[in-house]
């Protein structure tokens, strides 16, 4: 059953910074805004509905999506997972996995990874139910940081969660898992070209040369085949300083709202790892340093 109802955004992790800025920005663009967090936002900022949720309990996430359907009368078209749980590691970081402290690890992973992945699953279910007449963008955005690429002392537990979700998003985008569910326009050399190219090389080259040339050709394809127009889009968003270093606690709610709105409104899948700088927009800091 498809829904042609209102454009709806669901923000999981509705804090006073990014969450509030997102609610205000998307509401101004005509979206009905649903927020979900442990405690209600202090300021409404345009949210039509707030749903209490404890994201240390991933099994409660599907109920959030169901309540949005019932109370706002439609399917979610944009999902932002903005929740996070951070507690510095103990002096011995592996003591997190001792029986007496393992619950701290589980709670952190539930918020930073498992509930995010359940939200990703529920988002795709909602996107599938949106009618073609609904112009919602079917976009999932995860508020990340640099820990999927770099290690920082005291952040083993936090980094494990961010890395898990980053891998899932990268996997969906680079393997075009849901491309068949929508019309995709590729900017790469057609596959049949590669078939005949490799057949020719196999006939006239040694296996060693073939391996080297094949790898080079596929690397070239991966660089040119990143821009396409799928039915569903997924992003790991990471605000940086102009030098590429993490912003830490100085994250800008308005900057995130501006960039997330861009991602929700564009028709093509952009870089899954969406690093951006306040006032400058997207900047690719990781071309040679990704996972």
Three-state DSSP string of the chain: CCECCCCEEEEECCCCCHHHHHHHHHHHCCCEEEEEECCCCCCCCCEEEEEECCCCCHHHHHHHHHHHHHHHCCCCCEEEECCCCCCCCCCCHHHHHCCCCHHHHHHHHHHHHHHHHHHHHHHHHHHHHECCCCCCCCEEEEECCHHHCCCCCCCHHHHHHHHHHHHHHHHHHHCCCCHHHCCCCCCCCCHHHHHHHHHHHHHHCCHHHHHHHHHHHHHHHHHHCCCECCCCEEEEEEEECCCCCECHHHCCHHHHHHHHHHHHHCCCECCCEEEEECCCEECCCCCCCCC
The answer on pLDDT for 201 being more than 50 is: no
Average pLDDT, integer, range 179-199: 42
pLDDT digits (tens, 9 = 90+) for 70-112: 999 999 999 999 999 999 999 999 999 999 999 999 999 999 9
Residue with more model confidence, 179 or 71: 71
**Which band of pLDDT confidence, cut at 50, 70 and 90, is reported for residue 267?**
confident
For the cut 90, the answer to whether the pLDDT of residue 225 exceeds it is: no
Is the confidence at residue 134, as pLDDT, over 80? no
Residue 209 pLDDT greater than 60, yes or no: no
Quick check: 192 pLDDT over 60?
no
Single pTM value for the model? 0.82
Domains of the chain in sequence order:
8-182+228-282 (3.40.50.720), 191-224 (no CATH)
Confidence at residue 272, expressed as pLDDT on a 0 to 100 scale: 97
pLDDT band at residue 228 using 50, 70 and 90 as cut-offs: low
9-31 pLDDT per residue, tens: 999 998 899 999 999 999 999 99
Q: What is the pLDDT of residue 39?
A: 87
Q: Which pLDDT does position 191 carry in this prediction?
A: 34
Who has greater pLDDT, 43 or 273? 273
């Amino acid at each position: 059953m498809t829904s042609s109802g209102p454009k709806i955004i669901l923000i999981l992790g509705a804090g006073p910074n990014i969450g509030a800025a997102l609610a205000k920005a998307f509401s101004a663009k005509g979206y009905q805004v649903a927020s979900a967090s442990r405690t209600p936002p202090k300021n409404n900022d345009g949210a039509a509905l707030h749903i209490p949720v404890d994201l240390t309990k991933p099994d409660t996430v599907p109920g959030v999506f169901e309540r949005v359907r019932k109370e706002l009368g439609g399917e979610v078209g944009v999902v932002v997972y903005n929740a996070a749980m951070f507690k510095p590691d103990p002096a011995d970081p592996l003591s997190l996995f001792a029986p007496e402290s393992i619950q701290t690890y589980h709670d952190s992973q539930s918020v930073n990874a498992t509930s995010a992945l359940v939200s990703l699953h529920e988002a795709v279910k909602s996107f599938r139910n949106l009618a073609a007449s609904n112009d919602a963008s079917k976009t999932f955005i995860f508020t990340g940081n640099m820990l999927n690429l770099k290690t920082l002392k005291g952040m083993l537990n936090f980094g494990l969660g961010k890395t898990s979700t980053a891998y899932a998003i990268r996997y969906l985008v680079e393997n075009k898992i849901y491309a068949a569910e929508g019309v995709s326009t590729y900017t790469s050399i057609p596959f049949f070209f590669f078939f005949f190219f490799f057949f020719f090389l196999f006939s006239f080259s040694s296996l060693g040369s073939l391996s080297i040339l094949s790898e080079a050709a596929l690397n070239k394809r991966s660089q040119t085949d990143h821009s396409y127009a799928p039915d569903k889009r997924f992003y790991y968003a990471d605000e940086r300083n102009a030098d590429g270093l993490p912003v830490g606690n100085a994250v800008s709610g308005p900057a995130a709202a501006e960039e997330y709105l861009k991602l929700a409104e564009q028709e093509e899948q952009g870089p899954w790892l969406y690093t951006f700088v306040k006032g400058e927009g997207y900047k690719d800091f990781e071309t040679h340093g990704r996972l």
